[in-house]
A = this chain, B = another copy of it.
Amino acid sequence: MNISSLQEARYAYVPKLPGMLRNGISEICVKEGAATGSVADQEKIKALFPMTYGKPEVTFEKGQNTAAAKKQVIGVILSGGQAPGGHNVICGLYDALKASDKNNVLLGFKGGPSGLIEDDFIEFDDAYINAYRNTGGFDIIGSGRTKLETEEQFQVVTEVAKKHGLNAIVIIGGDDSNTNAAVLAEYMAAHGTGVQVIGCPKTIDGDLKNDDIEASFGFDTATKTYSELIGNIERDANSAKKYWHFVKVMGRSASHVALECALKTQPNICLIGEEIAAKEMSLSQIAGYIADSVEKRAADGNNFGVAIIPEGIVEFVPEFGRLIREINDLLAGENTEKFNALPDWTAKCEFIRNGLTENSFKVFEVLPFAIQQQLFLERDPHGNVQVSLIESEKLFSEMVKAELAKRKAAGTYKGKFSAQHHFFGYEGRCAFPSNFDADYCYALGYNAFMLIQYGYTGYLSKISNISKPADQWIAGGMPITKMMNMERRNGKDKPVIRKALVELDGKPFTYFAANRDKWAVETCYVFPGAIQYYGPASVCDITTETLKLEKM
């Protein structure tokens, strides 16, 4: 057995292109809109991107292709964390490029941006591409987290491009990678290299989203996979009726993934980082909020439940953020050695008490013992607390347990509380792309070629109207600079694509907020089941609840 029967079957799947791209390359014409400006800080962004700023939005239509004929040699890289559908972006790009001219060449640079710098590449052919159609993962050429951002790197990339005769580079990545794609595009234009740069919006986190980009690819498949598991756990909880399950889901700082999973599965609790920050909630308030649900359900005889915790939650709790900063300061320099030399935890606690502000020590005091230890004992090579390693699902379940013990003593709570913990992240990043992601990604790649053929650079491949069936999708491109603003990063003002957080006045959150009180007390679970690639369209072709609500 070398490949699974599903993989074999998925090879035969033909992704659906937007209607306007279905007539062959020779029947795709371009329509330019008005000049664009960045969403904020127009003057600054314009000054930083003199060659690529202010370009028009582009839409493709059915009509005679007017692009100049030339041989295309294109390089492509995958950047950052895996997202289902990345292979299909490359397949769409390859198919368009070969449909245009058999002699066109697509090079895949390996292991992410570093492959472009180290000139580590393969040339794609039909056999190679066919083994990756409609599959998950980034294993086709690998990925990596090297950032492509310095002048020196750009010089090397220029040399590599010259060596291979590259006339374009396609960067498949998240907001940071596409910010860097815009900077590279500007560099290439300013230096007259003739190399175009086109980005494609990737990330399961869902935070690369704005007026132009309706969704990043991978978000649909990843949230469907996590929701499958959360639904299964809800059904288990409702069958066994004895556990509260605390489920942490991946998604970096923004809570889009958690929110989408909650909309799909209707758990008893789902924390949203952006709300917690806006309301400046404390850890104890959050624990109290969860404990309220536990208590009310227990009063109905239901000593079970499901709570979704977004990966980045602790960063959104103001008092916790301050505590982390104080700990990092406290243990800077030679203090670390002093601290480590203390004989036992009691002595260490005394050191901590003296070193923190009173408020932060209070926060520290209410943390579970294991988390207290983790904050001081497991630190990165720079001596900093490793926030991403904090098991927030256990943090909250322990704090809820402590709160319930108090309520039991006070006589207001009479139930039983037993917790199970889960973290879903790697489970969803490399799933076979859903039909939606398979179609969307293939279209993004196909469309990226059209942008290249028509000579554009510094653009993001843009497929819109994606809450509708694929034949109604609109293909085109938008200057990346249009999505940018200036932000403070590592002490410097930088032009970046604005990261999309959950909007508390947006429809997805509003819908959730209107229903969650009922979900917290009653058992309203929904069981989405495994992603289906075949069967009724209602089961296998529908994308996210988030997008559905946003487009309502």
User: Smallest distance from the beta carbon of A264 to chain B beta carbons, Å?
Assistant: 8
Known: A5-B539, A229-B427. A239 touches B138 (CB 8 A): yes
Q: Is the CB of B5 within 8 A of A236?
A: no
CA–CA, A225 to B225, complex, Å? 11
Segment touching B, from A28-36, A323-331, A524-532: A524-532
Q: Is the CB of B534 within 8 A of A531?
A: no
Q: Is the CB of B9 within 8 A of A235?
A: no
Known: A142-B239, A142-B241, A426-B245. A9 touches B536 (CB 8 A): yes
User: Smallest distance from the beta carbon of A334 to chain B beta carbons, Å?
Assistant: 26
Question: In the complex, which residues of chain B have a beta carbon less than 8 angstroms from the beta carbon of A529?
Answer: 4, 6-7, 10, 136, 431-432, 533
Question: In the complex, which residues of chain B have a beta carbon less than 8 angstroms from the beta carbon of A410?
Answer: none
Q: What's the dominant secondary structure at chain A's contact region?
A: loop
Is A228 part of the contact surface with B, judged by Cβ < 8 Å? Answer: yes
Q: Is the CB of A420 within 8 A of B431?
A: no
Q: Is the CB of A428 within 8 A of B539?
A: no
Question: In the complex, which residues of chain B have a beta carbon less than 8 angstroms from the beta carbon of A526?
Answer: 1-4
Question: In the complex, which residues of chain B have a beta carbon less than 8 angstroms from the beta carbon of A535?
Answer: 9, 533-535
Question: Nearest B residue to A430 by beta-carbon distance?
Answer: B235
Question: In the complex, which residues of chain B have a beta carbon less than 8 angstroms from the beta carbon of A233?
Answer: 426-427, 430
CA–CA, A532 to B530, complex, Å? 7
Question: In the complex, which residues of chain B have a beta carbon less than 8 angstroms from the beta carbon of A500?
Answer: none
Q: Is the CB of B139 within 8 A of A528?
A: no
Q: Is the CB of B542 within 8 A of A5?
A: yes
Size range of the interface on A?
35 or more
Is A297 part of the contact surface with B, judged by Cβ < 8 Å? Answer: no
**Contact bitstring A424-436, B, C-beta under 8 A = 1, else 0:** 0011111110000
Is A232 part of the contact surface with B, judged by Cβ < 8 Å? Answer: yes
Q: Is the CB of A240 within 8 A of B6?
A: no
Question: Nearest B residue to A263 by beta-carbon distance?
Answer: B1
Is A453 part of the contact surface with B, judged by Cβ < 8 Å? Answer: no
Is A392 part of the contact surface with B, judged by Cβ < 8 Å? Answer: no
Which of chain A's residues 528-550 have a Cβ closer than 8 Å to chain B? Answer: 528-536, 538-540, 542
Is A231 part of the contact surface with B, judged by Cβ < 8 Å? Answer: yes
CB-contact partner of A228 in B422, B530, B533, under 8 A: B530
Question: Nearest B residue to A81 by beta-carbon distance?
Answer: B240
Is A104 part of the contact surface with B, judged by Cβ < 8 Å? Answer: no
User: Smallest distance from the beta carbon of A378 to chain B beta carbons, Å?
Assistant: 11
**Contact bitstring A198-235, B, C-beta under 8 A = 1, else 0:** 00000000000000000000000000010011011101
12 contacts between A and B (CB under 8 A): A4-B264, A4-B526, A6-B530, A6-B532, A7-B527, A7-B529, A82-B236, A82-B239, A143-B240, A422-B427, A432-B530, A529-B533
